[in-house]
Every structure is written in C-alpha cells, then in structure tokens.
Chains A and B, each alone.
Chain A
C-alpha cells in the first residue's frame, strides 16, 4: 500500500509520514497490516476530503458538532463550550475488542455481585475480604439502601469504565463509573458528527453500528418494569449541569422523557410526572443526579433537585438506573480488592486487569507504598482533601516535594485508610490530526456497557477516547485542552444497514408521548417569544417605510407616532423614547441588548427556553434559533429595512421549522397556541388606537402591512383603505391567517384537542373562554368594533391566557426543605 500510482486515495494517504516515537507502543503502527489498511483508507479519505490539506477538516467537523448542539461545561463555566472532536478516529480490531468486551462484562458482573453483597448480607465484609472502611469511606455508599433489593434484581443497568492501553498493547481499567455514566451521549454524538462530516467513509471501511446498543439499553430498562409498556424518564439536574446537552440528546435518541425533580411527585409509593393530562406514572428513571441529591427525605435534606420520597417509590417497584448507592464501587480503594473478590465470588481471575492498586489501610500494603513511593502515583482513597493531598487529586510519587512527602507519611500514620497508591500507567499513542499532519498522542478510552432485555451485558462497540497532551486524564469528563475522538470497532461483517434491531414483532405506534406540564409551559412561551420578536420586526419595518412616506406627506408623521407608541406599548423601547428620532427608536427596538422586550432581548429569552426544550426541537430549528443576530446594526434606514426583511424571513423560518418538526400532538398545540395568543394580542394593541374614527389612510395601510394583508386588501377593494373593510379584514375575517378571528379559532381547536381532565362532562375553563371569544367575534360587524369592544377582547384574551396557564402549567414552587433548629442546649 501507499505508492499505488492509480489509487488517488492511496496516493494521498498521509499516514506514511506518521512517525510515532515508539511504533510498538502505537495502536496504529503496531496493528496488523489488514487493520492498518483501514486506518490508511480512512486517513486517505480525510485527506481527499480536505483536498490534501488535513487542516481543512477541523472547521468542517466543528460545524457538525455545533449543528448537533454538542456542548459541555467545565466546573465553574458560565457558558457551554463546544465539544472538541478530532477528525481521526481510533480503530480497534474485532478480535482485540472481543477480548476487551469479555473483560468488561466480567467486571460488570463482578461489581454487580459486590453491590448485591454490600447492600445485602455483607458477607464479604464479615469474611474479611472487603474492609468495612473501604465501603463506609466511599462517598457513594448509601446506608439507607442496605436491605433493599432493586425490582428486577439489578443494581447496575448502565456502567462506564475508563481504560488505558499500555505500551505493549495490554488494556487496563483505570476507573469504574456506576453513579453517573457521563459521556455516553457524547460517544453517540461523536459518531453522528463523524458520519455526517465524512460522508460514507466510516461505512465503507466496515465499522460496527452503535444503534443496537441503545436498543438493548432501552429494552434492559423496560424488562425490569412491572408494566409491559413502561414509561421511562431521564432525571436531569437541569440545564446548568455539566452534561445537560448529552442528557437531552439521550432522551431524544431513546424516546425517554427528560424530567427534572420538580416535574415529579411520589404518591402512595408510586412515581408520577405532572403532565397536561394530569399525573402519569413513571416506571423507570435513568438518573443523572447523584444519590445524595436524589431524594431530600431519604438522603440530603438540603437537595432542591431531587424528588421527595423517590426511595419509597423504588421500594414499591420503581426501576432506578443505576440503583442509589451503586457509586460505592467508584472509590479509588475498591480496585485494590477486585482481583481477590473475583477469585472469591467467581473463582476466576480478572480477564482485564485494573491498574495495580494498593489501599494503605492494610499494614503490609502501607509499608510497600512508602518504600516504593517514587514508582507510584498516590491518591486520596475517597477523593477528599487529606494531609499532603489538600485538593484530593492524584500525584506522582517522585514529583512530591520532601515537605509534601512528610505530610503524607504523617497523615498516613494517623489515617492510613485515606490513601491509595497505583502503578504508573503508560499510554500507547494514536495518530490524531494536528494542523496538516498526523501526530502521536496518548489516549484513554471510555467504554460503556448496558443490560439488554435478557439482563445480559452488552458493550457499546467503541466509545470515546480522550486525548491530552498534558493534564490528568482521570477527571470525570473532559479537562481543559483535552480533545475527544471517536472509537470504532472494525468489523468485516457489520450488521447490514437498514435492519433495525429490537423485538421482531413490535407493533407500530402513534403515541404522541406524554407532555410534562413544565415542557408545555416552555413550548407555549417559545411560541410567544418567537411571534413577538417577529411582530416587532414587522412594526419596525413599517415604521421605517412610513418615515420615508412622511417626507412626502405630513399626515404620515402621525402614523409614525402611532407605530412608535405601539412599540412602547409592547415594551420594545423605553417610555422615555417619546422624544427620540424614529431612527433611534427603530435601532433600539431591534437591538437594545439591555431591554427584554427588544428583538434582541426576546431572541435571547427564546434561546434560553429552547435550551430547556433541547430534547424536543429538531436539529434544524435548534440551529435556526441559535443563529446569532448581527452584532452591529447598519445605521441608515435603507439597510435597516433590508435587515428587517431578513429578520422577518428568519423568524418565519424558525416558526415553520419548529412546527414542521413536531408531531401534531400536545407539544405542537402549546407551541402554536403561544404563537396565536401573541399574534392576537398584538393585533388588538395595533387596532385599539384606530377605533376612534381618527385613523388616516396611512394608519390603515400600516395596519394592513403589520398583518401582511396589503395584497389581499387590494385584491378585494379597489379603493385605498377605509376603516370598515380594514377592520373586517384585520379583526373579523376567520379565513385570513393573521386576522384576530383566525387566532381565536385556532386556539379553540388546539384546546379542544388537548386531554380533558374533567369527569363531570363540563367544558374545561380555557375551552369555555375560547368559545366565548369566538362568539363575541361572530356576533359583531366592523362597525361594532369600537374601543370598548376591543378593550373587552383584550381583557378576555388575558383571562384566557391565565386560564391556560393555571390549567396546564406547573405552579408549585420547588419544594421547601427544612431542617429544624430545635433549640439545642
């Protein structure tokens, strides 16, 4: 390979120049020739795609990463960061992977057995195989769970593990993650971004697909539930969490509901989600909240993000993945005991060793560690600050100062159980794209396992690798400056594409999903904000056109004034703007970043809400919502007008993309109701000042402009606008989609389609109010639309909006938690 004169791909293969310092310790250089061919084919494909320049690829990948909304936070970050993904994946051969997979499955079974013992008979402790302090010292130990058995019997459903590949190609476990399996969503999204960015390149090489793993995960959770068609939720700490984007992606990908603690309630030992159709039972929760925060009644009373009584529901059949307290096995001391526990429990050695670990609570281990400190890394066993390791981080023994060393020795004399040591693990390298070349970098792999419908473990074929030039690769997700890369398993016979795994006789369903009240609320407001921003742009555009006309006709000035009043009434510009020039009003209404009611402010609010709806928005609408407004506004009217045209198109596109991406179920009803209510309310505000009989033809033309009805009007009436026909078209004509009457009819239809919670056969309050509104409109003609009538409609519309909110949305403040100051002596 490599010098074929015809194969253009081979000619472009950039890997021949790749020169790792130690080829034997490089996963590519040491691979057998048939596997190397796959690496080369992919590298050549990348080079071809970048037209010879590898550096062309990164922006392309970044674009797809951004499109997917892949982002994360480092601790303390205010804003999300883009997820760093390198264009070059790591390829692992099927045989090598089979060995890793078997080792991981064995380890998952071992950890399950250890958990079942710790939370059950505690025989391993009683027999001296597992020191009590290794359990009680672990922050993940939940004593409250001792004696409770999970429904279905599984403490672990999903398990993540960090692996290192040593210089001789041997794989070792660095860390086990059972509490929160952070990174699974990123592994999935890495693959999606790679597939999109590189076309059919991965498929042409023959790599295993990830989808069957997620099907297995879903079936594994469902299999433990009491009901045959279970409702499964993902419990998120909320959008400020480090990995909220991945939680939202997983919810969307798996079809689970993304819920927060305040969406949930426990009644009589059952868990329910508050939805627009009332309380709906949840059968299983995949929790992304640490055990101690998950239930303020049973764990930390201060938690604001948990569900009071969650553990009572777990005791009555709620499946929790993973079971609270599973994190006990994450302690750094635990790996020291796993080789022995494997022999005791399974009578077999670990197939996949962990990095050799010594827990200093044992006397001979302590002596060994102190004697060999220079060859080891030393850690706080339970990740807490301890003497000599004040931040609880892992340190390399030979890099410790003598003062630090003394502190550690002194600390170990008083509290030896707080320390563990590990052998130093060297990493093999992998080629990554850096600039226009490939460079060798050390890597670690995060792999994932899940139980399938039969309760057997299956591994995600691949995972994501972390590549770092410096820094600690043992942090939970990504460190500063780390990059990630996709890991693919080479398979000459991958599952034929197009054949979906899963139960063979799954019946098609049209379940529109349950809509939590919280999500309904957010959708409604997304609709309102979007439409209001859209309408304000229209008003600004009309205002600018009227200013142009005012240069010719004086009476157009009063129209400009009325439009400015309308902008003030909508909060787009401040009350003091009465003395402002029209150009300043236009600029402020579009772009005043300090004003919530300006287009910029409304767009920002819309984006905030969209973050909460990440699992419900399509990729296209997500992208459209997040496209930023121009930072700087043009200054002359003509160019502001062009920008307005642009923004009108953009907001219309967002509304359309968002609505088109949704099934016509409850979610869409709320989104569109928000839009209709907002549109109706703005029409009323625009019409009301014109009902006094003083409207000029410019005023009426402007009004027609706002509701996009100039053309329609002209096709009906030859004369220039007069009051009664305009009012009829803007207020009363149910066939015109920007007319007030049309909005009310739409709202009524949406409400009629929503679930009815009354059992007395009477109408729900919002529907009754909507029908009253329709009746008022139907009973009047254009002459009857006077100021009092419009004011009455405004009041009725506000009442309707309030009725929708109180019927469908959440009102409960987050639960108060309280500890009593009990007059202690």
Chain B
C-alpha cells in the first residue's frame, strides 16, 4: 500500500512569544516494512536554526529555533510511504523464555528490548494495572497471544471517548475510569505488559483515512494515532498491537516513531517566553495513492 500523508499544524499566540525553540517529531524514522519515498517539512516563518537528530529513542527529532518574536507558527509535514503488510500467524516464545531473552540481549540501542522494560515518565508502574493484567494472561501462552489478550481486554472493557482525558491525564486515571483515547489505551497496555516483564513501546503514527471498499472506517483516522509495539523475542522482534481498534498493526498503520511513552515521541514540544498558544489547529490527511 502506498500513502501520501499531509500533517499540518497552525499555532497562533495572543501576544508574540520570544526565544521560541521546538522539538518536532514529525518525520518518520525508518521502520521495517515501510519505505519512505519523499519527505518535506515546511516551517513558516523560517526558523533561524534547524537541526535533525535521530533519537534518543526510535524517532527523528527536528529542533528549530527562532531569533525573533513569533506570533504564528505553521508546520506542514508531507511524505509518501510504501507500507507492506506484516507476516501473520506468529506465536512467539513463552513468557519464561522471553524474559530470559530480554535480559540476555546484549544491546542498548533504541531498537533493543532493554530500553522499553522500565518505568518511564508517563508509563509509571501501577499495582492496579499490574493486577488487572495478570488476570488476562493465558497460562502457558506465547507472547503474541498474551499481548493480544491484554489488547482485547482493553478494547472490550474501555470506552473510546474523546474528551474523557487530556494529553496530561495519567494512565492510572484513564485505567480507573476505563475510558480514554488511543494515547491512554496504549499507555495502559504498555504498563500492563511491562508488569509482566515484556518490553513494550509507544508507537506514534497515522491511520489510512478512507477505508477499503466494504470495510468500516478505523477509529483514530484524520488525526495522529498511537499503538503499542511489543518485543516478541529475538526472532520476531517488534510487533505492533492497536488496542484502540483491537487489531494487530497492518498496512493501514503508518509509523512515525517509537519511544517509551508519549513524551519520547510527542509531535511538538518546546519552550518560549510568553503565554501558551491561543489556538492550535491540526489537520491530518492520509490518502491512498
């Protein structure tokens, strides 16, 4: 499948802000099964400085810096991406074997399992989530089945309800309310899996907007989407699970980056002197070519 993606963000400030610097995490990092054909980032007004770094997690960070006051900022990220469907029917090792493989992996790079095994800023361990997850782990199952079971449990027990949470709501609150959006579902799933000793990462990206003929439109299209990448052993590596749509990540998902939680891949953050934007308008368009 080939997609053309256009993600535009427009911010307006009530009063000009000074010394503005932003981290943009909009450019897709390479990912197996995805091939990017072109990429264009347009920043208006043009920044005084712009640098591109990969990392610190599996993400491309563009840092932009302005040396004059800013009243408006427009960001347009556009690219064409070819996406292959993943292999299906994998089982993965048992959890005991998986835990051994995790600790035996001599790798600290952003694609290794070890970085995604521990508490992170937003995905804070919770005894409630851990106890809930333990009830959904089928005995003797392989890791893919375990992750699917937890994903399905979230999809069934939680209400998809935009507005129930904000981007600052801690996952434990979304869990207590059993409601939220893709970000909350993904964080809860990450915490649940890590409690079992399974490395789990937060993936950010997009969904195709127009469903294939005869199929339902997926939830979360026309916006940025989030799901969970699970490390399924040294042979399978990372596999994507989408708890919002209760499905394995297929060629409907286009990944931008992967981090320990939202904070590592948040599309825009930064600092400036002045007050927060008055308005912020985002539009996402994902077209099949």
A residues bordering B, Cβ < 8 Å? Answer: 118, 122, 125-128, 131-133, 135-137, 142-144, 146, 265, 268, 296-297, 300-301, 308-309, 361-363, 382, 384-387, 390, 414-417, 812-813, 815-825
Contacts and interface: CB of A to CB of B under 8 A. Distances in A.
A270 to B, nearest CB: 13
A308 B181 CA distance: 31
B181 A825 contact: yes
A819 B112 CA distance: 27
B40 interface: no
B114 A136 contact: yes
B225 to A, nearest CB: 5
B269 A308 contact: no
Interface string B156-169: 00000010001110
B107 A125 contact: yes
Contact of A300 (B114, B121, B182): B121
Interface stretch (B147-155, B230-238, B271-279): B271-279
Contact of B266 (A362, A363, A820, A823): A820
A822 B270 contact: no
A825 B221 contact: yes
Contacts of B222: 825
29 contacts: A125-B107, A132-B105, A132-B107, A133-B114, A144-B56, A296-B271, A297-B21, A297-B23, A300-B263, A301-B23, A301-B270, A309-B65, A382-B118, A384-B118, A384-B119, A813-B274, A815-B273, A816-B276, A818-B269, A818-B276, A819-B167, A819-B168, A820-B9, A822-B223, A822-B282, A824-B181, A824-B182, A825-B162, A825-B219
A772 to B, nearest CB: 31
Contacts of B99: 414, 416
A297 B223 contact: no
B150 to A, nearest CB: 14
Contact of B271 (A125, A127, A297): A297
B220 interface: yes
Contacts of B270: 297, 301, 817-818
A417 B103 contact: yes
Given A824-B223, A824-B224, A825-B222, A136 B115 contact: yes
B271 A817 contact: yes
Contact of B117 (A137, A386, A815, A825): A137
B110 A816 contact: no
Interface string B252-278: 000000000001001111111111110
A125 B108 CA distance: 7
A146 B55 contact: yes
Contacts of A812: 18, 273
Q: Which of B23, B108, B225, B226 has the most CB of A within 10 A?
A: B108
Contacts of B168: 819, 821
Interface string B197-229: 100000000010000000000011111111000
B183 interface: yes
B106 A127 contact: yes
A136 B117 contact: yes
Secondary structure dominating the interface of A: loop
Given A414-B197, A820-B266, A825-B225, A146 B56 contact: yes
B280 interface: yes
Given A308-B271, A309-B21, 7 more contacts: A133-B118, A136-B114, A361-B103, A414-B99, A816-B275, A818-B276, A820-B266
Contacts of B49: 268
B107 A143 contact: no
A198 B196 CA distance: 59
Interface residues of B, number: 66
4 cross-chain pairs, A with B, having the tightest CB-CB distances, nearest first: A825-B220, A132-B114, A143-B56, A825-B223
A151 B77 CA distance: 36
B269 A817 contact: yes
Nearest to B49: A268
Contact of B272 (A268, A816, A819, A824): A816
B123 interface: no
Contacts of A823: 223-224, 282
A415 B269 contact: no
**Most chain-B CB neighbours within 10 Å: which of A143, A385, A386, A817?**
A143
A415 B144 CA distance: 19
Contacts of A268: 49
B268 A128 contact: no
B232 to A, nearest CB: 17
A822 B268 contact: yes
A143 B57 contact: yes
B55 A301 contact: no
Given A146-B55, A822-B167, A824-B226, A816 B273 contact: yes
A117 B122 CA distance: 29
Interface of B: 9, 17-19, 21, 23, 49, 55-57, 63, 65, 99-100, 102-103, 105-108, 110, 112, 114-115, 117-119, 121, 125, 127, 130, 162, 166-168, 181-183, 195-197, 207, 219-226, 244, 263, 266-277, 280, 282
Contacts of A415: 195, 197
Contacts of B197: 414-416
Contacts of A821: 166-168
A820 B10 CA distance: 12
Contacts of A820: 9, 167, 266-269, 280
Contacts of B267: 820, 822
B55 A136 contact: no
A297 B182 contact: no
A118 B276 CA distance: 38
A825 B57 contact: no
Contact of A143 (B17, B23, B110, B282): B110
A820 B65 CA distance: 17
A133 B117 contact: yes
A816 B274 contact: yes
B106 A126 contact: yes
Contacts of B266: 301, 819-820, 822
Given A132-B105, A824-B224, A825-B222, A813 B117 contact: no
Nearest to B51: A312
Contacts of B223: 822-825
Nearest to A127: B106
Contact of A122 (B9, B108, B282): B108
A16 to B, nearest CB: 55
B228 to A, nearest CB: 14
Contacts of A301: 23, 263, 266, 269-271
Contacts of B263: 300-301, 819
Contacts of A387: 127, 130
B204 to A, nearest CB: 9
A127 B224 CA distance: 40
Given A820-B269, A824-B226, A133 B103 contact: yes
A443 to B, nearest CB: 34
Contact of B167 (A133, A416, A824): A824
Most buried by A among B18, B105, B115: B115
Given A132-B114, A297-B23, A824 B119 contact: no
A414 B195 contact: yes
A132 B166 contact: no
B247 to A, nearest CB: 14
A297 B63 contact: yes
A820 B204 CA distance: 14
Nearest to B114: A132
Most chain A CB neighbours (cut-off 10 Å) among B57, B117, B219: B117
A337 B55 CA distance: 28
A756 to B, nearest CB: 24
A143 B220 CA distance: 31
Nearest to B220: A825
Nearest to A292: B121
- Interface-centre pick from A118, A308, A309, A825 (highest chain B CB count, 10 A): A825
Interface centre among A265, A414, A415, A823 (most CB of B within 10 A): A823
B90 to A, nearest CB: 23
A415 B118 CA distance: 10
Contacts of B277: 818
